[in-house]
Amino acid sequence: MDKIKVLIADAHYMFIRGIESILSDDETLEIVGKAQTGQEAYEYAKQYKPDVILMDVNMPIINGLEVLGKVSEEMPEAKVLLLAVDEKEEQLLEALRLGAKGFLLKNLHPNELLTFIHMIHRGESIISGPIARKMVDYFSNHQLSELKSVRPLSKTDILTKREKEILMYVIKGSTNREIAAALFISENTVKNHLRNIMEKLQMNNRVQAATYALQEGWLQNV
């Protein structure tokens, strides 16, 4: 089986070495590049064509969000997982709009990072629990139209009971594995439900979908 090619991008060399050490424990991962500026991250992405890019939001020369935008447009097959020391609302909003597959805080545990890399490589979107909760709180007080990518089909409640249950766990910041365990279903079933939900609502992020359903009052009696 082909290894998952990973590009690490962070301004701090010691952090890169730490990530490198964590990833070396997983034989299914291959580090193809290590960048310390946004410009390097962009050039390495073009050169090495990684499957997953682990990137700090605050990169020098070109910031992580700008690199994300370039990669999403020019190399959509590369999945970008952004890392940050805190959750700034404007960065979160822009990351979602630009197509980030994940947004995590840097204080996550090593085994969580490995799990999340595999999840986004499989096509899942990952937002850590504290960030997911913050996003829901933010959107509950603002219009979803602030995200250009949000295009709800209808104000009509078109979700099934199971889909609503899953979105309630998304709001809590649960991973697909945790949702599957709580509902006694498989992870693949959870993924299929989330895919259906996002297709119904024409949204490309699970947190957006959950927040929209919450705003419309669809989750009140779940």
Q: How far apart are CA 79 and CA 26, in angstroms?
A: 18
Q: Model pTM?
A: 0.69
Give me the residues paired with residue 55 across strands: 9, 82
Mean pLDDT for 162-189 is: 87
* pLDDT score, position 183: 93
Domains in the chain: how many in total? 2
Residues 123 and 26 in one domain: yes
| CATH code for the domain in which residue 210 is found | 1.10.10.10
Average pLDDT for the chain = 83
Tokens of 216: 């419309």
**Burial zone of 103 (CB within 10 Å; 0-12 exposed, 13-18 middle, 19+ buried):** buried
Closest to 49 measured CA to CA, from 70, 68, 35, 32? 32
Q: Does residue 141 carry a pLDDT above 60?
A: no
220 falls within a domain: no
Residue 129, phi-psi category: left (phi > 0), alpha (psi -120 to 50), beta (remainder): alpha
Residues 122 and 178 in one domain: no
Q: Does residue 189 carry a pLDDT above 70?
A: yes
Q: How far apart are CA 168 and CA 162, in angstroms?
A: 10
